[in-house]
Structure 1
Amino acid sequence: MRTAPPPVSDGGEALIAWLRRMRKEAPVCKDKKTGIWQAFRRADVLRIMSDTEAFSSDILQVVPESKEFARGNIMLTDPPDHRKLRRIVSAAFTPKVVRDLEPRIRQIATSLLRNVSSERFFDFVQHFTYPLPMMVIAELLGIPKRDWAGMRGMSEAQVAVAVDGPIDEDFLKSVELIGRDFNGYLAELCRARREAPRDDLMSRLVQAEVDGERLTDEEIVNFAGLLFLAGHLTTTVMLGNTLLCFNEFPDALRDLRANPSLLRPVIDEVMRYRSPFTQVGRVTKHDVELSGIVVPAGQMILAWTLSANRDEEEIQAADLFDIHRGINPHIAFGRGIHYCLGAPLAYLEAEIAIPMILEEFSEIKVGGIEDMEFYELGIFGPKALPIQVER
């Protein structure tokens, strides 16, 4: 049986079919080529994501020389250090900080739509879904506009490596090399804010304190890097996937236009049906049994969130995009202590952007599959999404 996922050049149809087959025939298995374990059923994925006694989030322990990139990266930190980091970061990245971004998000979105006001055909990702969250995150952190292009280039290089092959030692070393330039820039910004604080998140991270504890420069840099990369990619892919879902299920778009109160259910269903990030990695702390299979201690295991969100044994009509399903069981933003800190910002950006898009365009037609380009590993969504619009 094939234990490696198929390419997604078809938009994901083959991948979804493969995940369905793996849930039934090999719910927990070891990839023969990479030696990495994988889990596909919802119950197993939930346990892997939430059981910190059995599973470590520090996947970089398999490459000890990359350990420096874990300090301050909340997603790669275990208790009790995780609790300290989250408390201090949360003191700086507050709900009010997110809410206060609303006017600027609207301003940026308006400007981007104005730039394509005379166009009937354009790439939705290039002209809207990528620049919107990237600019929001860059401004939030306090990155000067003159540096945005460079930061975008470095982040795209990191993503290109991440989607180019399996998570193995070579992969982690490649990420490390590219990350040094990226983190080097953020370290300079951090030092500048220590000397002269401004009204931005980097300054608040520098100043944040809980019970007399503060973040080190290294912790601030790694958290800021995670926020920049994951923060803009989540919204970029979510918005692109929203149009793909509307294209596949036009009734959902009609329902939303008729009833704007369905906006949050639409966003949650997009996150379930086309989860932006397909999997999360953990390392077993001891021998663990999942679906009758024993995974030995010290093994890396990928928990397929995309598969869990499509598990037909636990989610009714899992392969149907249903914005009327009520409470949505998706785990696209994680579960347990690692629930995404940036989720409120992603929701806010989507809740602003989607109505603006629908107000701007009376009709949106997605181009053919041959004109699209998709991420190949880890990220589930379009890198290029040509559309035709009517106003």
Structure 2
Amino acid sequence: MVFGGNRPAPDVTSAQFMADPYGAYAVLRAEFPLAWNEPTNSYLLSRFEDVERALKDPAFTNRNYEWQAEPVHGRTIIQMDGREHSTKRALVSPSFRGRELFERFLPVIERNADELMERIPAAGPFDLVDTFATRLPINVIVDILGLPQRDHDLFHGWYSAIVAFVSNLVGDPAVTAAGVRAKEELAAYLLPVVAARRESPGDDLISTLCAAEVDGVAMTDEEIKAFASLLLTAGGETTDKAITVVVRNLLDHPDQLAAVGADPSLIDRALVETLRFSPVVQMVMRQPSVDIEMTGGTVPANSTVICLLASANRDESRFERPDEFDLHRPEIDGERGFTAAASHTAFGLGRHFCVGAHLARAEVGVSVRKLLAVGSPRYAPGFTPQDTGAFVRAPSELVLELS
């Protein structure tokens, strides 16, 4: 056990942590910059400089994904390193940036958002999570993959089970079994689709990946299936919660909501500040290949390290007034915040920066803009949002009214 004071370090699996993770993060940063967490068999890193190093230093590998994610996705770019990683990333990343993103994906996002906005009542309460946020990202992804939206509930069930597997900090066997079943069912669904697109390609992303080639290297059917699985889960779960949390943060700060309503170009800054202030993905894991000296002690080779992204983003040494939501703060940038040079850690940093960052940016931007265009949102009478989750955190409901 690594101690920094006269009390044990906060436990990231405890009920107290679930109720107030940011209070626990502050204690960890101040007293336990390197802490051993027995229930997860992991070391905790909580300060920005240490989390940043773990995300950027090649000595901190992604081998943890061999047991954390590969059993439910197959082998994906998130666990690759070196030339293998750079080559496979080069095969998929062009579709998620620049002209390709805006020409192919933005019309799909706009159309799906318009269809879902029709479900929102002009009068009376509605749950933004159930009505809109959980549906838009998955609908967009199945559209760009060329899959039928009638199977939305299947996809949602699969990605929920897979995300639960990846977030299973205490190794609940029922969660593990459900995640493995979801992987098998999703593979049985997707692999025949990939084979069919090789024979008869269309204008969808699966067909694009079937044809992609870099330096004579192409993706196998299994790799395309694994990437589609990763996109469905990571892109669906995190973006639907990001929509919810951005809206919640703006509602909690009416002056900033009014500023965004008057100038929609501020939506990007609102999202970047949300990624800093209350990131959906609160933590990620790494595995060092050698013993590494960090603040507070030594991290042994091949141990598991939990990088507390949300704690790093509230580090007092990095941000002024870190516990305040302020989309105007000088430390953030509405453009750079979606790149590997971001001042926050929510998309990761360095070579494994999230390939879908700009897709998430586009989906959140369209969602907030369209919501504000139909009325002024406010919490329904008597409703108070409550965040849930440790690994991935957001309100499970956001009951609103429009005026």
TM-score, L = length of structure 2: 0.88
> Separation in 1 of the partners of 2:68 and 2:237?
25
Counterpart for residue 49 of structure 2: 43
Relative distance call for 1:174 and 1:58 in structure 2 (3 A) is farther
Relative distance call for 1:94 and 1:206 in structure 2 (3 A) is farther
Counterpart for residue 238 of structure 2: 234
- Any residues of structure 2 matched to 1:37-116 within 5 Å, and which? 37-52=43-58, 54-61=59-66, 69-71=73-75, 73-100=76-103, 101-116=105-120
> Separation in 2 of the partners of 1:13 and 1:270?
19
Counterpart for residue 276 of structure 1: 280
> Separation in 2 of the partners of 1:63 and 1:103?
34
Q: Does 1:335 align with 2:349?
A: yes
Relative distance call for 1:193 and 1:94 in structure 2 (3 A) is farther
Unaligned runs of 5+ in 1: none
> Separation in 1 of the partners of 2:139 and 2:388?
21
> Separation in 2 of the partners of 1:306 and 1:28?
15
What is the root-mean-square deviation in Å for CA atoms of aligned residues?
2.5
* Residues 36 and 301 in structure 1, CA contact (< 8 A), matched pair in contact too: yes
Mean Cα displacement is larger for which, 327-336 or 289-298?
327-336
Report SS of the residue matched to 1:115. coil
* Residues 92 and 208 in structure 1, CA contact (< 8 A), matched pair in contact too: no
> Separation in 2 of the partners of 1:205 and 1:8?
43
Relative distance call for 1:179 and 1:159 in structure 2 (3 A) is same
Identity over aligned pairs, percent: 30
Q: Does 1:193 align with 2:197?
A: yes
The Cα shift of 1:19 comes to 0.6
Unaligned runs of 5+ in 2: 1-7, 333-342
For residues 293-352 of structure 1, give each alpha carbon's deviation from its aligned partner in whole angstroms, at most 9, with x where no partner exists.
101111011101111111112111111111111341212111101111111111111121
Amino acid at match of 1:317: R
> Separation in 2 of the partners of 1:97 and 1:325?
31
Relative distance call for 1:301 and 1:355 in structure 2 (3 A) is same
Counterpart for residue 221 of structure 1: 225
* Residues 71 and 180 in structure 2, CA contact (< 8 A), matched pair in contact too: no
Q: Does 1:253 align with 2:257?
A: yes
TM-score, L = length of structure 1: 0.91
Q: Does 1:139 align with 2:143?
A: yes
For residues 114-138 of structure 1, give each alpha carbon's deviation from its aligned partner in whole angstroms, at most 9, with x where no partner exists.
1123442111100011111110011
Counterpart for residue 12 of structure 2: 5
Amino acid at match of 1:280: V
Report SS of the residue matched to 2:82. coil
Q: Does 1:24 align with 2:24?
A: no
Relative distance call for 1:163 and 1:63 in structure 2 (3 A) is closer
> Separation in 1 of the partners of 2:81 and 2:311?
24
Report SS of the residue matched to 2:344. coil
> Separation in 2 of the partners of 1:292 and 1:274?
26
The Cα shift of 1:113 comes to 1.4
Counterpart for residue 393 of structure 2: 380
Relative distance call for 1:244 and 1:95 in structure 2 (3 A) is same
